Amino acid sequence: MRLSALFLPTLKENPAEAQIASHRLMLRAGMIRQSAAGIYSWLPLGLRVLRKIERIVREEQDAAGAQELLMPTIQAADIWRESERYDAYGKEMLRFKDRHDREMLYGPTNEELITQLFRDNVKSYRDLPKTLYHIQWKFRDEVRPRFGVMRGREFLMKDSYSFDLDFEGAKRSYETMFTAYLKTFKRMGLTAIPMRADSGAIGGNLTHEFHVLAETGESGVFYDAAYDELAAKGEIDLEALNRLYAATDEKHDPNGADVPPPERLRQARGIEVGHIFYFGTKYSKLMNAVVTGPTGEPVTVEMGSYGIGVSRLVGAIIEAYHDDRGIMWPEAVAPYKVGLINLKSGDSACDAVCDDLYRTLSEQNVEVLYDDRDGRAGVKFADMDLIGLPWQLVLGPKGLAAGIVELKNRHTGEKHELSVESALARLTA
């Protein structure tokens, strides 16, 4: 993509309404614009990141055996009456009537709709287990939408739902998702700590919230220092993870893991990027999701639900990866891999080499954003640092004369002067 053509309205000044880095940087880097409180348009640069996150989430769901479908954003109130949540849900649910005076709502979540789909279409234990998911916009009329996409009113969520014949099966489905979540966040460069969450009556060891540590997180979290070591190791050791203490409430550990001694108890702030939940027959009982079991008897299915805040993740990744000049995207979710900076657009020799680099990289499927605009070098450097592509490839008249380009790593700040060929070799490796 040529920067001269890209719809990328960057801002020089910090917008007054943004209180945290990710919100500030998403506005300044031209990724989003607010249309109403907690409701955003995703501009081209922001959308590319959102799509990359979505793709990672999808790949890991598919790898875990979940099947994608797509449910609508608008739902009928009836099924929420069946589950007895219509009144209970309160003001966070956006309700309205259609022209025939039927009560409708914009879905805040999809347990009811998926349970209805299941009970109308699955009749036998032979069709179990099943985990179904979709990636769809949700609306929750949050009291205090804030921090940009972190707590929006309209937001993109991946929500999966598992259906099993018995508790053992449900537990397996839960553990499969648990592992899939750890892999998903890791691929985005995030360490997400699974915190035992309080699920009230159901028995707390089968609900976890996944939190990314960040000073600006909205939740207080407590965890065993051993997590830091485990995270550094790289491998996912489910058993070891489960033995360690991690909770959103210091006094409460539903799984019974020992609260570590003070020197090992870490207290921090966390951003909830995922939440998994086993809830047994809560919905299947009320909504009559029953299959025929192996001996012909009716069995009310066991369910779980598993959410990931896809749009919130964009903000969470920026909270984890930025400096005072801008964003520093991990390569897996970067809107482009390389920013190619022509220091002297309009100079025919510079243009020729840069155009050529741009073409070669594009042909090799390297995603490049090519700053071909007229303008000062300082502005180009500042914009490229702001939008945070992992690599910057810089070419000006001086380098050209010496036959070299500069390759800069946005994360480390390291710069290398290379021949055009070796720069290309590195970026296409």
- Catalog residues that contact ligand ATP under the rule CB under 6 A: 109, 140, 142, 151-152, 155, 157, 272-275, 307, 309, 311-312
For residue 420 the two structure tokens come to 């055009």
Nearer to ligand ATP, 211 or 373 (CB): 211
Nearest residue (CB) to ligand ATP, 34 versus 422: 34
User: Do the Cβ atoms of 218 and 212 come closer than 8 Å?
Assistant: no
312 binds, among ligand ATP, Mg ion, none (CB under 5 to 8 A by kind): ligand ATP
Picked from Mg ion, ligand ATP, none, the partner binding residue 140 (CB below 5 to 8 A depending on kind) is ligand ATP
Q: Residue 87 CB, nearest distance to ligand ATP (Å)? A: 18
Q: Which residues bind Mg ion (CB under 5 A)?
A: 275
Minimal CB distance residue for Mg ion: 275
Bridge partners of 33, per DSSP, are 41
Instruction: Report the residue number, 151 or 380, with the smaller CB distance to ligand ATP.
Output: 151
Residue placing its CB nearer to Mg ion in the complex, 248 or 345 = 248
Q: Which is nearer to ligand ATP, 8 or 27 (CB)?
A: 27
In the list ligand ATP, Mg ion, none, the entry touching 283 (Cβ below 5 to 8 angstroms by class) is: none
At its nearest, how many Å lie between Mg ion and the CB of residue 116? 23
10 Å CB burial of residue 351 (0-12, 13-18, 19+) is middle
Question: Least distance from C-beta 420 to ligand ATP, angstroms?
Answer: 44
Smallest gap from residue 426 Cβ to Mg ion (A) = 42
- Decide which of ligand ATP, Mg ion, none touches 274; Cβ closer than 5 to 8 Å per partner kind: ligand ATP
Q: Give 309 or 390: the residue with its C-beta nearer to ligand ATP.
A: 309
- Which residue of the chain is nearest ligand ATP when measured via CB? 309
Give the Cα separation of 60 and 45 in Å (integer): 24
Identity of the residue, 250 or 421, whose beta carbon is nearer to ligand ATP in the bound complex: 250
> To the nearest whole angstrom, how small is the minimum distance from the Cβ of residue 304 to Mg ion?
14
Binding partner of residue 157 among Mg ion, ligand ATP, none, CB under 5 to 8 Å per kind? ligand ATP
Pairing of strands 302-309, 322-323: unpaired
Exposed, middle or buried, 137 (CB in 10 Å: 0-12/13-18/19+)?
middle
Q: Which does 26 bind (CB under 5 to 8 A by kind): Mg ion, ligand ATP, none?
A: none
Burial of 283 (0-12, 13-18, 19+ CB in 10 A): buried
* CB closer to Mg ion out of 147 and 370: 147
Neighbours of 34 (CB within 10 A): 17
What span, in angstroms and rounded, lies between the C-alpha atoms of 286 and 82? 6
Query: CB under 5 to 8 A by kind: which of Mg ion, ligand ATP, none does 155 bind?
Result: ligand ATP
Tell me which of ligand ATP, Mg ion, none is bound by residue 273, counting a contact when its beta carbon lies within the kind-specific cut-off of 5 to 8 angstroms: ligand ATP
Q: Please tell me the distance from the alpha carbon of residue 280 to that of residue 321, in angstroms, as a whole number.
A: 38
Question: Is residue 247 left, alpha or beta, with left meaning phi > 0 and alpha meaning psi from -120 to 50?
Answer: beta
User: Tokens for 73?
Assistant: 């954003």
Give the residue with the Cβ less far from ligand ATP, 8 or 157.
157
> Least CB distance from residue 158 to ligand ATP, whole Å?
8
Burial class (CB within 10 angstroms; exposed 0-12, middle 13-18, buried 19+) of 181: buried
Q: Provide the token pair at 398.
A: 């001086």
Q: How far is the CB of 256 from ligand ATP (least distance, A)?
A: 23
The residue among 151 and 275 lying less far from Mg ion, judged by its C-beta, is 275
User: Min. distance of Cβ 422 from ligand ATP in angstroms?
Assistant: 42
Give the shortest CB-227-to-ligand ATP separation in angstroms: 19
We find the least distance from the C-beta atom of residue 274 to ligand ATP, in angstroms, to be 5
152 binds, among ligand ATP, Mg ion, none (CB under 5 to 8 A by kind): ligand ATP
271 contacts 214 by C-beta, under 8 angstroms: yes
